[in-house]
Structure 1
Amino acid sequence: MSRRITQLIVLILQSVACLSLQNDTLSAGVIIRDPETIVSAKQDYKLGFFSPPNTTNRYLGIFFSFSEETVIWVANRDAPLKDSSGAVTLSGDGNLVVLDGTNRTVWSTNVTTTSLINPVVQILDTGNLVLREEASGDALWESFSHPTDVMVQGMRLMQNVNTGKQVLLTAWKNATDPAIGSFTGGLDALSGTPQLVVWDEGRPHWRSGPWNGLIFLGIKEMFYAYLDGFTQVRNDSVGNFFYSRPQNNGLVTISLSSSGSAIRKLWNGEAKRWDVVMSYPENECDVYGTCGPFGSCNSLESPICSCLRGFEPANEDEWGRGNWTNGCRRRKQLRCGDDGFERMRYMKVPDFARASSSRVQDECRTECLGNCSCIAYAYDINIGCMFWSDTLIDTQEFDRVGVDLYVRLSASEFDSHKERNMYIIIGVAVGFVCISVMMFIAWWFIVKRKGNNAQDSSILEAGQMFTTDSTAIVLKNESKEVNIGDLPKFTFEMLANATNQFHEDNLLGRGGFGPVYKGVLANNKEIAVKRLSAESGQGMQEFMNEVIVISKLQHRNLVKLLGGCVEKDEKILIYEYMPNKSLDACLFGPTNPTKKLLDWNMRSSIIEGIGRGILYLHRDSRLRIIHRDLKPSNVLLDQDWNPKISDFGMARIFGGNEDHGSTARVVGTYGYMAPEYGMEGRFSEKSDVYSFGVLILEIIKGKKNTHYFNDELSLSLIGCAWKMWNEGNGLSFVEESIASRETEEEMVRCIQMGLLCVQEYPKDRPSIEIVLSMLSRDIVDLPVPKQPVFAENGSTPGPNGSTQQNVYSNNELTLSVLDGR
């Protein structure tokens, strides 16, 4: 009888405990044992135990109820529990504590007070975990004041301007370990005008630029539209300066990744995923001090670093090698009372700006001139005057947005400007006269020969894309003019000598455009020479299209165009030489020894690099470009195995609000074409995403899509990937030489990303930004891909049901054209 009473009492106690867990509060005497949780009133946030990916360690954390893998706060981040025996409760002194299986305290709130009466812990609808006295309601400790790596709405990043104490985000050590990593991020209100900064072990890594009450002046996207980011700035009586993120209809987080990126995400309720909205640093210029003191960075230029006007490299040899850390120095020293200012437009202003009470722009110049230590000034209507002394560091040139920066220079600099301007004016005048005479002669010659050569109509069509000016080079017996703009010009003789008269021993490969040769210039610089053959089906239109596109692009994952040559019938492009040839040659060459070097880490890095190159084309360059011919032979590998996308002859530039196009002339390579493009001629960014998905699967399998056929399953490469992944046997799809149980989860995840990219309908495919977020694990949960369209014979149908398979080629720079319908 007594035994039954005991069991009944235990059941009643368990029921009471369970009931206590249904609300948002943890009271004294209640223990939460792994895997129990408490949930906020609106069911958005949970407090409970979790394990990061690829580990069994357990941590107490706060995470979203609808996205439990998104953890916003971790308690015992430096003291993991080794099993699921952990518990959380209120200790005898009123602190919230995490206990291991032996009841040893591994983490505590460490509130030092002797007068805690009826303490309770509550998880609020903001995601804030608060320890307070039940009677008075006074908060004694809160998780928002001790954040980890994520900022949510309502949280404050602040700095006490009296003591310097900060509330900072601290990154995880890596994706599987929430221990404190190298990077911290928060508000810096002491070194000048308030701004957000990411530090790498105390050294600045990225900064947002000054806050003007509406936007951060160093984030160029904010100039186009005020983003719903930080909106409140306030100084209170105790010296706390903070930014607060108010509640709104959208659910936004800002996280600090283990690699130092500040990432802003928006919850997509319809798709049930987090979409990456912004990520900084965005490029090399965003990294703090890339160009050193008095240097200026422009991500659209090559090289990206230059000295501010009136300055020269501090070390010419280092600067020439691309090492800009020592920055620049003045050419002529200041004389204080006899100086002037050089205006630099569209700038991210330097660090250490000192704001002034002056609110009128004209007063900025006067105040700076009157202070011999002032070396630059700028003006913003919401901040007023900003001044700099000592040095100008982390300056960047934006594209058509930004602040005007006025740099103090010696008066003698302006005298040389006047002298130089006079020479320029004289030179321009003389040049104009010469060009006018040459244009008249050329016009007379063209009129005389008009209609003699109908075959040149396609060349004329391509030439109409350009404006004739002093850079024009006569083509086709001087009957038409082709402008290759500011592209460096090479003579045919120079290239013939560099390639030993285009000798077969220097032949790197052959493509639709023509042969590609290795060359060595007189200064021993190695180059790749792409020569349009007379028999090529691709001519001036593709040649000029490549010149237009790639000459305006600069990115570490795009091949660099060094120059061009147009003499008579010769049309030649000169590229940087890639010693490791193409991905096609390295990955699919049956006896290629370099294939053994491509382990999983290298292949994963190549996939990410290709993705970043595509992101630049789609989003980050000054042009918006669809490549339309992404394939392994158009991905080159430099000496460090970094991938570089090449061959832009088929690329299409989008402008304005364009996001898709159509054509009756389908170009590219079947097997890599999206269904809507190959069958109907419709293309968009999602067409490139499809090609990228095929590339991902090829890199994982080590087989070419257009050559692969599984006799046993009667499936193509894509079909085989789908079947094995769908059956939970993804590792069997991976090339045997790199397949490993240690990296199985990562490889299978990559297969799933590839399958998401090759889905039939463009709307189902993720954008390239989302794919990169998946690769970096900023998006942890992946959607389930739909079954892709694939043919059982291993080829992809072309227009009118035709198919084509490309033969293996090891050329570096190829161009393929297929005219459909």
Structure 2
Amino acid sequence: MGSCYNVVKKEDEIKPQFMENGRMLLEELISTCDGKCNPMRTFSTQELQDATNNYDYQRIIFEDYNYTLYQGFFEGRRISVKTYGKIPGRLNFIPGSPFTNIAIGSQMSVHKNVLKLIGCCLETEHPILVHEFAGDSCLYNYLSTFEMSPSKLPSWKFRVKIALDIANAIAYLHNGLPKPVVHREIHPSHILLDEAFTAKLVDFSLCEVIPLGESYVKHETLSGRKGTLAPEYYAHGYVTEKTDVYSFGVLLFEILTGRFRFFKHLHGECRTAWVNSDIDHVLGIVDPPLREESIEEGIFQDFAMLALKCINDEAENRPTMIAVAKEVMRIYYSAPRN
């Protein structure tokens, strides 16, 4: 099937674009990572056209608001190819920078729970990213979008492992780079699952770097998905590491209940009051298949209580991602092994 990439640009058109994108990428690397970058390969437009069979629609792994992820084959190896740009038919467009994705993604590629960035193509209007291939399904595909309908998620042990994988990746994002980085878009569609249900974070285009000596960054324009945004960010534009903790808490409830946008119609004090009223009877909200497993209700309660702490309306009362990751690990090892 044809696509907007089926016209090969002439060399005199490619070179200026390559130089401009190279300049912008260098500026991003300097501002976010002090100019440091792990080694990456540069790809040509022709190489990626060939790798994806001219961006064949059947090769699409996932379409998000501002990018499409394709499966490709290059030099006998499966790869994932990410193209940026507004997708036809999508009314909502979430801004994101492929340059930020490259800069942060290259630094995060050392983490086992991040989709490794192999390289990029700078010859197109929007840079194209090339990642390792780690499966063709994301967490979103396993969640139910209907009330009272069971999800397609695996057993409890696998679910907690998914939460632990992502918690570790976010904790590293906050603490393992030269400057603290806030993801701002922790969402089921940005979590790839391989055949063993190992989770990998796949997008960093909305990341925000917190300058050294500062505790937050203020935004006039919001970016992200309604329902996952922390109150202080939604109301005032304040971005901190605790912004991610809030979004991760929403994700924990989605994993527990198996339902996407579990809190869609509940906000603020109403949301907290609802969860508190049901916390002692947590089996009423867990995904139906989990009720058939030999899991003590107290383990579900611990998981729900952690999620509740993460979505505290007051940022200072939320735990750090390191503390969250430690608690998820404790819950993971407290469940019976099959």
Q: TM-score band, normalised by the shorter chain? A: 0.7 to 0.9
Paired residue for 2:105?
A: 550
Q: Note if 1:642 corresponds to 2:198.
A: yes
Task: Tell me the distance in 1 between the aligned counterparts of 2:328 and 2:22.
Answer: 45
Change (3 A) 1:717 1:495: farther
Equivalent residue, structure 1, for 2:319: 766
State the AA in 1 paired with 2:101.
E
Kindly provide the CA deviation profile for residues 639-678 of structure 1, in whole angstroms up to 9, marking residues without a partner as x. 2211111210010122423322111121111111100001
Paired position in structure 2 for 1:799: none
Structure 2: distance between partners of 1:462 and 1:652: 17
Given that 1:708 and 1:716 are in contact with CA atoms closer than 8 Å, whether structure 2 keeps it comes out as no
1:601 maps onto 2:157 in alignment: yes
Counterpart code for 1:545 = T
Deviations 1:172-230 (A, max 9, x none): xxxxxxxxxxxxxxxxxxxxxxxxxxxxxxxxxxxxxxxxxxxxxxxxxxxxxxxxxxx
Amino acid aligned to 1:736: P
In structure 2, what is the equivalent of residue 678 of structure 1? 234
- 1:500, CA displacement in angstroms? 1.0
CA, structure 1 residues 641+719, in 2 after alignment: closer, same or farther (shift >3 Å)? Answer: farther
1:314-350 CA distance string (max 9 Å, x none): xxxxxxxxxxxxxxxxxxxxxxxxxxxxxxxxxxxxx
- 2:173 and 2:182 in contact (8 A); partners too: yes
- Looking at structure 2, the residues matched to 709 and 653 of structure 1 have their Cα atoms a distance apart, in angstroms, of 31
- Aligned ranges 1:767-782 → 2 under 5 Å: 767-777=320-330
- Deviation per CA, 1:244-301: give whole Å up to 9, x if none: xxxxxxxxxxxxxxxxxxxxxxxxxxxxxxxxxxxxxxxxxxxxxxxxxxxxxxxxxx
C-alpha distance in 1 between matches for 2:254 and 2:87? 31
Q: How far does the alpha carbon of each residue in 1:618-644 deviate from its partner, in whole angstroms, 9 at most, with x for none?
A: 113344211011111111112221111
Q: How do 1:742-761 residues align onto structure 2 when only pairs under 5 Å count? A: 742-761=295-314
Q: Which gives a bigger RCO, structure 1 or 2 (Cα 8 Å, sep 6+)? A: 2
Aligned pair partner of 2:134 in 578, 582, 588 = 578
Post-superposition Cα deviations, 1:709-753, rounded to whole Å, max 9, x if no partner, equal 59xxxx98766433311xx21221111111256321111110000
Separation in 2 of the partners of 1:515 and 1:718? 35
User: Which has the greater radius of gyration?
Assistant: 1
**2:67 paired residue number:** 514
Equivalent position of 2:80 in the other structure: 528
Amino acid at match of 1:721: V
What is the rounded CA distance, in whole Å, between the counterparts of 2:242 and 2:29 in structure 1?
Answer: 32
Q: Aligned runs of 1:132-171 on 2, under 5 Å?
A: none
Question: What letter matches 2:75 in structure 1?
Answer: A
Supply the RMSD in Å over aligned alpha carbons: 3.2
2:299 maps to amino acid: E
Counterpart Cα distance in 2 of 1:664 and 1:776: 36
> CA offsets per residue over residues 777-797 of structure 1, 9 Å max, x none?
49xxxxxxxxxxxxxxxxxxx
C-alpha change, 1:532 and 1:730, in structure 2 (3 Å) is same
Cα distance in structure 1, aligned partners of 2:112 and 2:38: 23
Count of residues in Structure 1 that have an aligned counterpart in Structure 2: 299
Please say which of residues 512-521 and 491-500 is displaced more in the overlay: 512-521
Residues 584 and 679 of structure 1: CA distance in aligned 2, closer, same or farther (over 3 Å): same
From 724, 740, 753, the counterpart of 2:278: 724
State how far apart, in whole Å, the 1-side matches of 2:144 and 2:26 are: 40
| Structure 1 residues 748 and 548: CA distance shift in structure 2, 3 A | same
Match of 1:738 in 2: 290
Q: Distance in 2 between matches of 1:519 and 1:656?
A: 39
**TM-score w.r.t. structure 1 length?**
0.34
Distance 1:623 1:602 in 2: 32
State the partner residue of 2:12: none
CA–CA distance in structure 2, aligned partners of residues 538 and 679 of structure 1:
18
Identity %: 24
Q: Distance in 2 between matches of 1:638 and 1:552?
A: 22
Question: Equivalences for 1:97-108 in 2 at 5 Å?
Answer: none
Q: 2:155–2:290: 8 Å Cα contact kept in structure 1? A: yes
Contact 1:694 1:718 in 2 (8 A): no
| Distance in 2 between residues matched to 1:707 and 1:499, nearest whole Å | 38
Unaligned runs of 5+ in 2: 1-14, 31-35, 332-338
Report the alpha carbon displacement of residue 578 of structure 1 after superposing the two structures with TM. Answer: 2.6
Question: Which aligned pairs between 1:474-489 and structure 2 lie closer than 5 A?
Answer: 486-489=39-42
Residue 224 of structure 2 corresponds to residue 668 of structure 1: yes
Q: Residues 258-657 of structure 1 correspond to what in structure 2 (within 5 A)?
A: 462=24, 465=27, 486-523=39-76, 525-533=77-85, 542-553=97-108, 554-588=110-144, 596=152, 598-657=154-213
Name the SS of the counterpart of 1:509 in structure 2.
strand
- State the alpha-carbon separation in 2 of the partners of residues 716 and 634 from structure 1: 28
Q: For 1:185-200, what aligned pairs fall within 5 Å after superposition?
A: none
Structure 1 gaps of 5+ residues are 1-440, 447-455, 469-482, 779-821
Q: Which residue of 2 aligns with 1:44?
A: none
Q: Which has the higher helix share?
A: 2
* Counterpart in the other structure of 2:334: none
For 2:206 and 2:221, the matched residues in 1 are separated by 11
Query: Counterparts of 1:701 and 1:719 in 2: how far apart (Å)?
Result: 17
Shift of 1:679: 1.1
Separation in 2, partners of 1:645, 1:608: 12
Amino acid at match of 1:465: E
Hey, what does 1:101 align to over in structure 2?
A: none
Per the TM alignment, residue 467 of structure 1 is displaced from its structure 2 partner at its CA by: 8.3
The structure richer in strand per residue is: 1
Question: Secondary structure of 1:667's partner?
Answer: coil
With 507-516 and 548-557 compared, the bigger mean Cα shift is at: 507-516
Q: TM-score normalised to the size of structure 2? A: 0.78
2:253 matched to 1:691?
no
Cα deviation, residue 588, structure 1: 3.1
CA contact (8 A) 1:705 1:717 kept: no
Structure 2 CA distance for partners of 1:649 and 1:750, relative to 1, 3 Å: same
Q: What amino acid does structure 2 have at the position aligned with 1:620?
A: G
